[in-house]
């Protein structure tokens, strides 16, 4: 009987430790502080933390994924001219040249568009619990806390106004 209890206790511990070391970053979940990151845009380098005091729409997208590309265009238009919300659209295209062509073709405001270099992708994905196929949007409040993942139009309308 002691062996059975010992076996059960061991299995419970293994499950707890295995779930604690999952690949999904708990920081990117709603209610947690958004993980900071640094990314370049042309000659400018920005960090997520520098936008504290404003809401941030962190949009992860690729032109290879039509849905995420359309969402990026929609969000770019939605926040244009807003003094309360900024867009940080992080792109995962296969090359910077393709990214630049898409920005021009879609008439996007380049100030909120960022290309994630191939060598930086693993670290970004680890922080945000994403991968090269995880195209989504995080809404981060003015205090740097994730308040929504793939926010609805209703959620966005409250913030943008």
The per-residue pLDDT for range 85-130, each reduced to its tens digit, is 999 999 999 999 999 999 999 999 999 999 999 999 999 999 998 8
pTM here is 0.80
Q: Options 3.40.50.300, 3.40.30.10, 1.10.3430.10, 3.40.50.620; which CATH number does 26-160 get?
A: 3.40.30.10
| Domain ranges within the chain, ordered by starting residue | 26-160
Structure tokens at 139: 């809404």
Give CA–CA dist 27/104, Å, rounded.
Answer: 33
Q: What is the pLDDT of residue 4?
A: 44
């Amino acid at each position: 009987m002691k062996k059975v209890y010992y076996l059960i206790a061991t299995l419970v511990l293994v499950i707890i430790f295995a779930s604690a070391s999952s690949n999904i970053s708990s920081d990117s979940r709603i209610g947690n502080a958004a993980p900071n990151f640094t990314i370049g845009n042309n000659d400018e380098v920005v960090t997520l933390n520098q936008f504290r005091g404003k809401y941030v729409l962190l949009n992860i997208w690729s032109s290879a994924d039509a849905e995420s590309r359309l969402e990026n265009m929609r969000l770019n238009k939605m926040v244009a001219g807003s003094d309360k919300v900024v867009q940080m659209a992080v792109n995962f295209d296969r090359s910077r040249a393709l990214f630049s062509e898409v920005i021009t073709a879609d008439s996007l405001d380049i100030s909120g568009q960022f290309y994630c270099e191939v060598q930086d992708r693993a670290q970004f994905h680890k922080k945000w619990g994403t991968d090269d196929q995880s195209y989504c949007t995080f809404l981060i409040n003015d205090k740097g806390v994730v308040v929504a993942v793939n926010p609805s139009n209703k959620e966005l309308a409250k913030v943008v106004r």
